[in-house]
Chains A and B, each alone.
Chain A
Amino acid sequence: MAVCTGCSLLCEDIELTLKTGAISQVKNLCRKGHGHFQALFTERIVPKIDGQEVSVDQAITKAVDILRNAKHPLLYGWSNSALEAQRVGIDLGKKLGATIDDTSSFCQGILMELVLTGKLPTCTLDDVRNFADTSVFWGADPSNSHPRLLSRFAYYPRGSKRQKSYEEERNCLVVDVRKSATAKLCSNYFRVPPGGDADFIASVIDVLDGKIPKYGDKKRMIDLGTILRKTEYGVIFPGVGLVYALQDKIELLKTLVAKLNEITTFKVVPMVEHYNMRGFNQLLLDDSGSINRVSFHSGQVTHGPENSIMAAAKICDAALVIGSDPLSSLPFGTAKSLAGVSLIAIDPRRSLTTDAAQVVIPSAMYGLEAGGSAIRMDGVRIEFEPIVKSDLLSDEQILARIKEEI
Chain B
Amino acid sequence: MVGAMEIYKLLPTDACKECGYSSCMALAVALLNREKKLEDCPALLNPKYADKFKKLKELLAPLEKASETGLIIHPEKCFGCGNCVVACPVNVAAEPTRCGIGLGPQGDRVILAVEDGVVKCMNVKECRRFGPNKVMCNACTVTCPSKAIEFV
Contacts and interface: CB of A to CB of B under 8 A. Distances in A.
Contacts of B117: 26, 29-31, 33-35
**Count class of interface residues, chain A:** 20 to 34
A31 B145 contact: no
Main secondary structure of the interface of B (DSSP, over half): loop
Contacts of B102: 129, 148, 151-153, 156-157
Interface string B77-111: 01111110111000010001010111110100000
Contacts of B114: 27-30
Interface of A: 13, 15, 25-35, 129, 143-144, 147-148, 150-153, 155-159, 166, 181-182, 184-185
B116 A13 contact: no
B116 A151 contact: no
B146 interface: yes
A153 B81 CA distance: 12
B145 A158 contact: no
A40 to B, nearest CB: 14
A143 B116 CA distance: 17
Interface residues of B, number: 27
B145 A143 contact: yes
Nearest to A149: B81
Nearest to B87: A156
Interface of B: 78-83, 85-87, 92, 96, 98, 100-104, 106, 113-118, 143, 145-146
Q: Which 10 residue pairs are nearest across A and B when measured between Cβ atoms?
A: A28-B104, A34-B117, A157-B102, A30-B80, A152-B102, A151-B82, A181-B145, A31-B80, A143-B145, A31-B117
Contacts of B115: 25-27
Contacts of B116: 25-26, 29, 34
A301 to B, nearest CB: 41
B101 A185 contact: no
B103 A185 contact: no
A13 B80 CA distance: 14
Contacts of B104: 13, 15, 27-28
A157 B118 CA distance: 19
Contacts of A15: 104, 106
